[in-house]
Structure 1
Amino acid sequence: MSWWGKLVGGAFGFMLGGPLGAVLGAALGHRFDKGLQGLPDEQISWGPGDQERVQTAFFTATFSVMGHLAKADGRVSPDEIKLAEALMAQMSLSSEMRKTAIRLFNEGKAEGFPLDEVVEQFRLECHRRQTLIQMFLEIQIQAAYADSRMDRAEEALLLHICSLLNVSEFTFRRLERMIRAQSHYAGTGRGDRAPSRTQGLSVKDAYDILNITPEATDKEVKRAYRRLISQHHPDKLVSKGLPEEMMKMAAQKTDEIKKAYERVKQARGMA
C-alpha cells in the first residue's frame, strides 16, 4: 500500500509527529503533534517505514511551505495560486490528495505557521538526502517565479529556508538560475521576455539550465549534463522518498535538461 493509502487508511505507524505532523493533522482534521519535535537526529529511529515517512514529509512540507512563500510579499497572487494548482494537476492527484494539498497550502498562508520548525523537521526526515532537499528547493523557487519574477521578500525567505536546510547561498544561486531559465523557456512567466515553448530554447537558457557558462569545455558540458540527469532521475528520487505522484514532475525536469543539452550540443557542433 502507498504512503497515501496508509495515511487515509489509518495505519499511522509511520506517521509524522512534531510540527509537520501538526500541520498535516490540521489539514486532515487529526492531531499528530507528538513525536519528533525536539529530538536530536541520533535519537530518531529510521526503520522500515522510513521511505513512507519521507514521502509524507515531502508532500506536507512542499505545499505548506509553498503557501507560506506565496504570502511572503504580503499577498497571494492569482499566478501563485495557478502554479500551485498546476503542480497538483501535473501530479495527477486524486480528489482527496488535491483537497489535502490545498489545505496544506492554506495552512502555510495562515498566521503563526511554524516555518522554521517545519523546515527543520523536514531536513531531519530527509536524513541527509541532498538530491531530495534540492528537489524541494527547486519546487519552491519555481513557485517564487510564478508571477515571472522573484521579489526581495521571496528571495530573503528562500535564503532563510536554505540556511535551515544547510544549503549554501552558492547552491541557491545555481538552482535559481536554472529554474529561471526553465521558467523562461516554458513561458510560465507573464513578462514580455517570456517566450512560449514553440519559440524554442535559446542557447543562453540552455547553458543556464545546465548550470554552466559558454566558456565550459565540451567535457564539462557532458559532465554537467550527466550530473543533472542523475540528480533528477524519477526512479532514483522516488527511492529516496519523493512521492510517486511527483514522478511526472521529475520526468519533465529531466526532459528539459535533455533538451538543453541537445541545444548546447547543436550550438557547439558537438557529436
Structure 2
Amino acid sequence: MPASEVPGADPTGSEAIHTEQLGDHLLLIRVDRPHRRNAFDGATARAMEAAIDAYEDDDTLRCAILAGTAQAFSSGQDLIAAAHGDMGVAPNRGGFGIMAKPPTKPIIAAVEGHALAGGLELCLACDLVVSSRSATMGIPEATRSLVAVGGGLFRLPKRIPYHLAMELALTGKAWSAERMAELGLVNRLTEPGAALQGAIELAHEILRAGPLAVRASKQIVQHAYDWNDADSWQNQMPFARPVLASEDLQEGLRAFADKRDPIWTGR
C-alpha cells in the first residue's frame, strides 16, 4: 500500500524531509514526522535519498548534518506502514535512503531524544555523531523477534567493542548517549537541545579543511576495515592522487607559507 494510503501516514515523503542550507557550504537535512517519532516509511526513505543525491551533486556543499526533532532522532522503521507492506527503503541507497550507500562527503548525525532500531542504524550511516546527553540509543529488534538489517549488526562492532555491541544486539536494551560517548560511538556530547548547534560547530571545523582532502580521507578511512596493511599503501592512492595533484594542495601550501587562511576552490 502506498504511504499516502496508510492510515495516519502524513506527513510523509518530501513533507517529512526538510533541507536547509546553513551558510555557503553546509546542508541541514531534518526528519520531521513527530507523530511517528521520525520513523521511516517508503516515501520518506525516497525523499531522504533525493536529499542525499542533491547533496552529493552540489559541489558547493561540503558537509551535511542529519537531524530529527527535539523528541526523537528516529525510532526506525514505521511499523504501522510496515504492517501495510510499506517499508522504509529507497531504490538506490537502500534503507531510509542512505544506509546502503551513504554520501561520499561528510555527514554528521545530530541526536536528540531516541535513536533506536533503524534510528541508531541511521547514526551508523553517518561519519560523526553529536548527541544530547539525555539521548538514548539501541537496537531493540531482537526483543520483537526482528533482526537489525539496516547495518547495525555489522557496523556497530566496528564502532564499539565487540562484546558490548553483542550485548546491545542480544538484549535489545537502550543505553545512554553518555555511555555511548565513553565507548567512542558519540564524538561530542551537548546539553539537551544543543545537539544541532554542536554539530554545526563540528561541521565548521571540517569546512576549514580542504574539501578534496576531506572527501578522499573519508573514503580511505571507510575502506580501512577491508584492506590489510600491505595492500593499503596502494589501495589508498586512487583516492589520494587527485588531491595531491590539485590546485587546492598548492593553495594550502601557499596559505601556510603566507600565514593566512586558505581559500579552497575544490579543484
Give me the TM-score of the superposition, normalised by structure 1: 0.31
Give me the TM-score of the superposition, normalised by structure 2: 0.31
Greater fraction of residues in helix = 1
Higher relative contact order (CA 8 A, sep 6+): 1
